[in-house]
Structure 1
Amino acid sequence: MNPRLNKLNPYPFEKLRSLLSGVSYKKEQLEPINLSIGEPKHPSPKSIADAIKDNISSISHYPATKGEELLRETIANWIENRYIATKIDPNTQILPVLGSREALFSFTQIVIDNSFRNPVVICPNPFYQIYEGASILAGAEPYYVNLDPENNFSCKWDDVPTEIWDRTQLVFVCSPGNPAGNVINLEEWKKIFELSQKYNFVIASDECYSEIYHDESNPPLGGLQAANILGIKDYNNLVVFSSLSKRSSVPGLRSGFVAGDSKIMNKFLLYRTYNGSAMSPLISAASIAAWSDEKHVHANRQLYNDKIEIFYSKINKYLEVTKPQASFYIWAKTPVSDTEFTKKLYQEESITVLPGSFLAREYLGVNPGNKRIRIALVSSLEECIEAANRIARFVQTYY
């Protein structure tokens, strides 16, 4: 067996199950509300279901590894409409993928070159654990850069020593961020690109929350758009990852795209030819329908905005909370340890949240997730209001 498997850490939800094992609800009359996992619960658009029904016969054909031409063109059109003045070649700079999770993992395997001594992959801290697991299984050392709550939860890039940068082959960034909902601004993008140019590492920009934002006049800046503004030719060393899961409330569809540097994309296509992860024509048809329609995305976004505004207004008096710039997460500080708070909240109010420390690693003597919880506002508006009321009651009662 691959010995690197033994280096993998338990997944956050495995830790959560262990934490809550044997704990029972004290108030049986309360309906349980699970806000721990970022799985969208909004209805998916009818156009996607119709596309699947209308193309059911396509399952009799093998899919193309590169993806269907019409899907790549549809994605290119979406990118150009979403990110002003951003042009991309659907033939050489886009690949459809089976959701961003699959792509983030497999992409790491093509980037890491183990012929160099002790390769490093830099991850934001807290982070999506796929970054860490993919790095370990590729034979690289994960290195964690703490988010700075005093600076919009941006990464403390200046904390990274030169000897680490010298060994860095891949840097993960996540914008809008999970769990803090922060958006990387142009100034920070400029710093990231300059570091990439200096140390020649690849940037993997995870943008799966890009369409869940609160200011319709100011959508989050994306990596391709930032590169275009800053004159980074051909998106050198940049690859972005996007998904329909959050945008269109179809996490089970497993559909997204990867786009960027054509030199890297060509190698990724080669890898995928052997990896067998081509998108079915059926999913491709559904994806074309989804990327072609913005009406359902606006409606989806408004539902999240309503929940965030109401939830924030109800718990802001009781917990220290920063309203997210984007995404559907609330990243709240707790008056006691995050694990103690999570366990007692589950027991007393039948609400499940995720301890922040489960999403992070200790770096420089600090786990930046300590005394924080991630609350995923994916349930109905009514459930989110009920959860906010219970959390407020809980904090008032015990803290």
Structure 2
Amino acid sequence: MNHNLAHLHPYPFAKMATLLADSTPAAAYSEIKLGIGEPKHEPPAFVLDVLQKNLDKLSRYPTTNGTFELRQTIAHWLEKRFFLTHVDANSEVLPVMGTREAIFSFVQAVINHGESKETETETELQNSTDKAPRAPTVVMPNPFYQIYEGAAILAQATPYFVPCTSENGYKGDYRTVPKDVWQQTQLLFVCSPNNPTGSVMTMDDWEALIRLSDQYGFIIASDECYSELYFDKAPVGLLQACAALGRHDFKNCVVFHSLSKRSNLPGLRSGFIAGDASLLKPYLQYRTYQGCAMPIPHQIASIAAWQDEKHVAHNRALYQEKFALWMAELGELLDLRMPEAGFYFWIKAPEKFNGDDEVFVKALYEQANIHALAGRYLSREINGKNPGKGYVRIALVASVEESREAIARIKKMLGK
């Protein structure tokens, strides 16, 4: 077995199961799940109809790079959504079986141990008694989507965590990353809109990272799965920032998108990676050996989903209604902060529960039969500080009616 498997952390939901193992949910209430970021809104019926009508095509092997029609549809969507002049459907777009597996496999494909960058000069290396090269580094936000970390570990790279705190707008201050870390960095993960904090990168933020990428030669991988769940203004994407800077080849920049959150189709396992053609070409070869190809009925259904914006606008409206409801009913009782985008609240645990995220999520389960996620499980403790400790992630994925019920139960918990 790969010895690096021993270094993987338990998944956040496994930690939650351990925390609640000896707890009993409030028997008077039905279960309300607000812990997992799985969309519960109805998927668009027309997409399901298209899928149903094309099931006979399961008799054919799909190609790894998908059909040209799907790639072209995605390219056109990117151009319209992010104000891009041109996206080459043949070289700058690659459909994937959901961004989770694509993020993982992309790390395995791009980490290069043969050309690990060194902080020492060539002369210093020659004179050094320690000839072992330093491991490549993958920089990521903290808290974070755990696939970033797991993929880095299994690629034998070193994760480096940038804390996302109230002091830096919950999106990380990359100016604090030491020079010697950047010199070893081969890949930087950014999640915008961020899971779990809901923060969004600005054009200035992107430009600063692109300049760092040019200086140190690392790849920027932007996880933009929540980009269509916004309130007032559509978030700026990485490729959009590239185009604004005249970087139309998207050098060293890739983005990941999915239909899971945008279109309430998590089970379709449909997404894409787009950007620098020089990165996607070898990655496609890697995927060909990996054997990942989206079934043809899923591809045809995906085309229908990417071509329609009405269901996406309706989806946004439902989330907007729920956020407004929570803010109006609990804004003075809980430390609620409106996210810039996404469907998560990143909440400070109330003082009534000692400001402890584990205590608060246990109370929600035991007193109100509500599932939430302890923030410390989404973060790593670095230099004695865990930026997720004391926070709780609540996903507003349940219906408006369930949201009203959850609010009523929390009010009762808080004695209001």
Q: CA deviation at 1:48?
A: 1.1
> Is 1:80 matched with 2:99?
no
Q: Which residue number in structure 2 is paired with residue 285 of structure 1? A: 300
2:381 equivalent among 352, 358, 362: 362
Matched, 1:201 2:218: yes
Aligned to 1:324: 339
Match of 2:206 in 1: 189
Amino acid at match of 1:354: L
CA distance, structure 1, for counterparts of residue 168 and residue 331 of structure 2? 20
> Which sits farther off after the overlay, 370-379 or 79-88?
79-88
Paired AA for residue 111 in structure 2: I
Unmatched tracts of structure 2, length 5 or more? 117-133
CA distance in 2: counterparts of 1:385 and 1:179, whole angstroms: 22
Partner SS for 1:118? coil
Q: CA deviation at 1:320?
A: 1.3
Q: Are 1:159 and 2:176 an aligned pair?
A: yes
In structure 1, what is the equivalent of residue 2 of structure 2? 2
Q: Which residue of 2 aligns with 1:251?
A: 266
Equivalent-residue separation in structure 2 for 1:293 and 1:367 (angstroms): 41
Deviation at 1:279, TM superposition (A): 1.0
- Give the aligned partner of residue 46 of structure 1: 45
Question: Which range is displaced more, 282-291 or 306-315?
Answer: 306-315
Name whichever of 85-94 and 267-276 sits farther off: 85-94
Is the Cα contact below 8 Å between 1:324 and 1:330 reproduced in 2? yes
Provide the rounded CA distance (Å) in 1 between the counterparts of 2:243 and 2:370. Answer: 44
2:250 matched to 1:235? Answer: yes
One of 340, 356, 364 as aligned partner of 1:345:
364
Query: Per the alignment, in what secondary structure is the counterpart of residue 14 of structure 2?
Result: helix
Tell me, yes or no, if structure 1 residue 376 matches structure 2 residue 395. Answer: yes
Give the Å deviation of 1:321.
Answer: 1.8
Which residue of the other structure, out of 386, 398, 404, is the alignment partner of 1:385?
Answer: 404
Instruction: Output the TM-score relative to the length of structure 1.
Output: 0.97
Correspondence list, 1:296-311, <5 A = 296-311=311-326
* Residue of structure 2 aligned with 1:225, choices 218, 223, 240: 240
Displacement of 1:253 after TM fit? 0.3
The question of whether the paired residues in 2 share the 8 Å contact of 1:255 and 1:287 is answered with: yes
Matches within 5 A, 1:94-243: 94-115=93-114, 116=116, 117-215=134-232, 218-243=233-258
Q: TM-score, normalised by structure 2?
A: 0.93
3-state SS of paired residue (2:268): coil
Shift of 1:387: 1.1
Over 4 Å off, 4+ runs: none
Q: Say if 2:15 and 2:377, in contact at 8 Å, map to a contact too.
A: yes
Does the 8 Å contact 2:263/2:305 carry over to 1? yes
Give the CA deviation at 1:146. 0.3
* Separation in structure 2 between the aligned mates of residue 86 and residue 377 of structure 1, nearest angstrom: 35
Per-residue deviation at 1:86?
Answer: 4.3
State whether residues 237 and 264 of structure 1, in contact with CA within 8 Å, keep that contact through their aligned partners in structure 2: yes
| Partner SS state of residue 266, structure 1 | helix
Preserved contact between residue 214 and residue 326 of structure 1 (Cα < 8 Å): yes
1:98-140 CA distance string (max 9 Å, x none): 0110100000001111122311001100000000000000110
Q: Based on CA coordinates, which of the two structures has the bigger radius of gyration?
A: 2
